[in-house]
A = this chain, B = another copy of it.
Amino acid sequence: MTDAVDLVVVGSVALDSVQSPAGAVVDALGGSAVYFSLAASTFCKVGIVAVVGDDFPDEHTELLRRRGVDVAGLSRERGETFRWKGVYSDDFSARTTIETRLNVFAGFKPEVPDAYRKARFLFLGNISPQLQAHVLGQMDDTVVAAADTMNFWIDSNRDAVLDVLGACGGVMLNDEEARALSRESNLIKAAGFLLDRGPRFAVVKKGEHGCLLAHGEQLFQLPSYPVEDVRDPTGAGDSFAGGFLGYLAHEGNATWETLKGAAAAGTAVASFGVEGFSVNGLLRASPAGLNERMSALARMCALVPPRL
């Protein structure tokens, strides 16, 4: 029997091979649900719904469990775990995917464990909109669901993507996805389009340029935390999402003030994440370290408005 969780994430678990100007790793722990859940685990009790192959090292499952992530929803199928291989350019400005092998992830049919169904917070990672809807339908008391997507689904299934967003309390996309889905090049207009489809809040992730949060007529903009030594940006957006939803679950609401705090939490945890390869940076994100970076962010953005 498993405990109840506050937050459920559905997404990928992968073995990533990454090369960046700072080094390289082979078959290291990765995947959106891994980055998300490790980032969220400092803030709340998070449960993961994902699939791995029979080659997935037990030590990775053990690591998740040790960090407080509930793995009752992590199913093990015959076959190989999802593999991704990518290379970053010399200044980290571009990323090239060398290889993607979906393996067991290709047949992923997410089933939410009973113990997760009463969770009040849910994050739908970038699986197909049909599977996202399938997961949403299995939840009993979700108050805040937020959905991610990717250009592949926007291009092939735009209506289904919009339907899922309409059924969610929030949407969290990167800038490119927000532009593609809304067909608006201006991000303020793109966020407005997303809100018009139903969600109460929209977060546009802009990578090193921070994020934009929209809620009704209100806008909040937060720059990224200045990291001098980036080693591996893989999973930064998923870590941000994990910190964001984790903080909402920690506070138990999604008011405007909580949403702004969540943006700071996501930003702080993601800044730790990019300082190490695979999940090594995230593992160094302690509550004290997060508090320090969230305070520094607030100081770094504090402005007394000048008056003429």
Residues of A within 8 A of B (CB): 42-43, 90-93, 179, 185-189, 206, 209-210, 212, 219-223, 226-230, 247, 250, 257, 260-262, 264-265, 287, 290-291, 294-295, 297-298, 300-308
A/B interface sample: 17 pairs, CB < 8 A:
A42-B308, A90-B185, A186-B229, A188-B226, A188-B227, A189-B228, A212-B223, A220-B301, A261-B303, A261-B304, A261-B306, A264-B305, A291-B307, A294-B306, A295-B305, A298-B305, A301-B303
Q: Which residues of B contact A90 (CB under 8 A)?
A: 185
A301 touches B304 (CB 8 A): no
Bound CA–CA A301/B301 (angstroms): 6
Chain B: CB-nearest residue to A90 = B185
Task: State whether B42 touches A306 (Cβ < 8 A).
Answer: no
A23: min CB distance to chain B, Å = 16
- This chain: copies in complex: 2
A185 and B21 alpha carbons, distance in the complex (Å): 11
Q: With A247-B306, A294-B307, A306-B261 given, is the CB distance from A222 to B185 under 8 Å?
A: no
Contact assessment for A306 and B264 in the assembled complex, using a CB-CB cutoff below 8 Å:
yes
A291-B305, A301-B303 known; 6 new pairs, CB 8 Å cut-off, are: A91-B185, A92-B185, A219-B300, A220-B300, A297-B303, A298-B303
Residue numbers in B under 8 Å from A287 (CB-CB): 308
A219 nearest in chain B by CB position: B300
Complex Cα gap A209–B175 (Å): 12
Contacts of A262 in B (CB 8 A): 306
A308 is contacted by which of B290, B300, B303, B308 (Cβ under 8 Å)? B290
Within the assembled complex, what's the spacing in Å between the Cα atoms of A116 and B39?
A: 57
- Distance in angstroms between the alpha carbons of A308 and B268 in the assembled complex: 12
Which B residues are in CB contact (< 8 Å) with A257?
A: 304
A254 to chain B, nearest CB (A): 14
Would you list the 9 A-B pairs with minimal beta carbon distance, nearest first?
A91-B185, A261-B306, A221-B223, A298-B305, A287-B308, A209-B209, A295-B305, A298-B303, A188-B226
Given contacts A185-B92, A186-B230, A189-B228, contact A305 B294 (CB under 8 A): yes
Within the complex, what minimum Cβ distance (angstroms) separates A268 from chain B?
9
